[in-house]
Amino acid sequence: MTGLPGSGKSTLAKLLEAELRGRLGRYVEVLDGDEVRKGLSRDLGLSKEDREEHARRVSYVAKVLARNGVVAVVALISPYRSSRAEAREMIGAERFVEVFVKAPLSVCEQRDPKGLYAKARRGEINNMTGIQDPYEAPETPDLTVDTTAGGPEASLEGLVMGLRRLGKI
């Protein structure tokens, strides 16, 4: 799942995890970008190179999980198309589903669950995706979930329907 900070990636990933584990009995691991940064990528900053390396590390872990039968639900800003293309290639197109968690910047700024947009606007944070650093929205995602069109449960329902349509669940 890719999208701006505050678009709803983490919320949707947790709901999908519960759905896949609870109803379908699948082994699932959520790789949340913020959580992975606390461990595997704690040595990385927010430069373009560091963001690309963070995405590469998360993609590698997702690849290993998928290879062992675990559904890896990745909630990562992953702002660059090139990083997402590299992830698709690394994991394999047959296992990779790019989900664009769509919400406009204005909505994400209103949500601002961690206060990061406000800090970026005040100049307290540099390289904030969507403010000082670009977010390259997917041009042809496998699925798009518009998180402004309903609540989290409606977004989950749309996602699950899309995954079924693609034959992934």
Residues identified as active-site: 78
Comparing CA positions, the residue from 166, 145, 157 lying closest to residue 1 is: 145
Burial of 114 (0-12, 13-18, 19+ CB in 10 A): exposed
Start-end of H helices in 8-151? 9-18, 33-38, 48-67, 81-91, 105-111, 116-121
- Residue 65, CA distances (Å) to 17, 29, 30, 126, 142 in order: 14, 8, 10, 33, 21
Whole-number Å distance between alpha carbons of 83 and 72: 17
Residues shown for the chain: 169
How is the chain split among helix, strand and coil, in percent rounded to 5?
Answer: 45, 10, 40
